[in-house]
Chains A and B, each alone.
Chain A
């Protein structure tokens, strides 16, 4: 018999919301009842028999030679079970360039020098204080621009001029295009060091008591990459490292790679023969995390007098801190987003990661892209104004559209950018407000693009899924994608339920154990809904195919005519003939074949590099500036996002809200104040974020462009919205005070200075 194709749920443009049974409705998160009643387990809640507690000894200096380490008093303290020093960590590397513990020099404040494990956190802290380290101070590099100077001391042998990584890219002939431009503008912007500040502090529990087998409970955005990294560090086969994720208390781009504490806990556990918990205490959180460093953005662009943007040039200088592990991702990403929004004719990009004696910096929420857009969005806004154009009009004239392929090859199979701009401007009442507001009131727009997935960072961008269908008509869905709060597990359950024709609440999502999870690169680069969503859909279709055989036999119709919906299976248009989904499962198992229904699926971008889907958004901010204090109040945000298809609309809104919070927080409040290599405000009292009363009203507009490659047309909402927020607020402030504040955060003193100048 020819293989029959069952009715395919792949959406087309004509597919309406009404065709979908569960996708597009509001569903509460499946793990929500546990989360509101204190039953959810996080890594700090893990209790293991005999568990010990660790404390790390850290360098107080930005740059120094270690002369000696004396651990004798610590080792003699009752209750201390293991002490490790660089001797114990020889040949253990984090990434490519960082030794786990430095044998010669410490290169930043907080640099790990030794660690202890003891019977309580208290004893561990006492023991750590008893470890005596003698240092000889070395010359320090504390400024990214000075580190580039010829006469600056060189931190790493291989990094001439302290440049650890450099990327240059050119498309078209920028010089020739600049020569044709009627208007050329140059601006310099700065974003300052910041911290992710997730609710859940850095923590891990390591059990390395069985030789050659490491088990670790820790919050992460990617158990798979953590497993690979720990395996490489300890020279183990990856399958002997087991990552257990549980719940993760926020990600915000900050939990995408391993940090020293993961390795230290494992090493202590191996030495002590007991499980070990290592958790950040107080200000340590600001050292263990390592979010964004200072970045200087030099931008230059040109347009023709009819308002067409033709060329963009960007030169980015990143303070990358003492080591580079995976931070080069930030130049790969920012270099792509220079082309993402406007069909320009040429571009030039240079990104340099420069070493300093600051802690190794990674990324804050927005992954470097949102921060880059803070600069680019303001620059383009200024260019439009210089030409006497309204920024909304300018963006509409220049914005990319469906079918566009960027100069570096990204193809937009769906694109609702113009729709986003138009709807947002209309809802915010832009035309009645722009240029018509009283002094110190302002309105500004920010637009953005965001890829779903990032093949090319790694060779594959694979997510896989299994579906196990049980006799009672329910299903278990196995995925390796972590849920850090973005509700991804519930989203996957909705996708699976739609295909099987059952309810999301009939599905148990099983995830968080690399021994049982199918492979998934992780929850970053906004790949979850698109990649894991497609994998889930494929797995569910595979399971449904197996059930369709049984149902077609019973109903004596072709498999292709079957509809799976509302817990029933029936030939299209003949609901009266329906048989219960559970019955079909039962009959499949209780047959001569005795088939147990298990579906499997995976998804990987078919392209050599890059992804198949891009999301777009626009946001308009309305602000009031207090001319006396420089304090900026955000009065209102109007936010649209082209998500392709909203699988769970309320979650989409929640993602937009959270990113408006984080974008507003970064652009107005957040800065880790650095002095002599020290974080001067390492607490949540001194490192400011908005409280409930500071949040503006938010209006949401969900744009659905129904992407041809997305699961039911879905793309992402994981980091697209935040890309618009910072620039929108900054542009509104400019509109209010008549001048740009080019350095983020727009702290009151910076705003006042801009008003006075």
Chain B
């Protein structure tokens, strides 16, 4: 089948890449662009490790997204979350609260948490539960993950306040 050239922006970097119509965003990022931070799990939408964020900050399972549909669009992956050379408050919080064990699901958890906290820095328990429901983490039991998200939320809230004052 004929390949199609698409223009895809990942973490602010513009790429032009030839993709087959059936190739997923996950495959193109990992295999054509060598961006392996986003993990490959079930490739069937059931584990969440491949989660990235779309332009509007929406949660995308990149294993279910067809690359051709992303022509002219942009995504953020776990490789694009850091702020300059600093870890993002969510990343820092995950690290400091022991929310990372094997780390294989971590990119999915971080991107799900980011999608939530980008629009809501005062999430309820239910908000967090719902936002994280798409990612299976076998190691942490989600307990420290939830704690890390709550702590990150408070850091981000403070930042909003300071930002508002300045």
Contacts and interface: CB of A to CB of B under 8 A. Distances in A.
B140 A661 contact: yes
Contacts of B77: 38
A398 to B, nearest CB: 30
Interface in A688-732: 689-693, 695, 698
Contact of A28 (B39, B96, B103, B141): B96
Given A42-B39, A693-B129, A35 B143 contact: no
For the complex, would chain B's binding face be called helix, strand, loop or mixed by DSSP majority?
loop
A37 B78 contact: yes
B129 A692 contact: yes
A364 to B, nearest CB: 11
A37 B79 contact: yes
Interface stretch (B30-38, B53-61, B64-72, B154-162): B30-38
Given A38-B79, A38-B107, A692-B128, A657 B102 contact: no
Given A38-B79, A41-B36, A282 B42 contact: yes
B46 A683 contact: yes
Interface in B22-49: 30, 34-44, 46-47, 49
Interface string A226-250: 0000000000000000000001111
A48 interface: no
Interface string A260-291: 00000000000000000000011001000000
B47 A35 contact: no
A653 B102 contact: no
Interface string B89-117: 00100111110111111110010000000
Contacts of B97: 650
Nearest to B45: A685
Contact of B46 (A486, A654, A684): A684
Contacts of A250: 101-102, 104, 138-139
Given A42-B39, A657-B140, A692-B133, A282 B102 contact: no
Given A29-B95, A683-B42, A487 B87 contact: no
A32 B95 contact: yes
A488 to B, nearest CB: 11
A690 B79 CA distance: 28
B138 A198 contact: yes
A485 B128 contact: no
A684 B134 CA distance: 11
A486 B100 contact: no
Interface residues of A, number: 56
Contact of B133 (A41, A654, A693): A693
B85 to A, nearest CB: 11
A288 to B, nearest CB: 14
A129 interface: no
Interface in A83-138: none
A607 interface: no
Contact of B139 (A34, A485, A650): A485
Contact of A37 (B37, B129, B138): B37
Closest 3 CB pairs of A and B: A38-B37, A661-B141, A485-B102
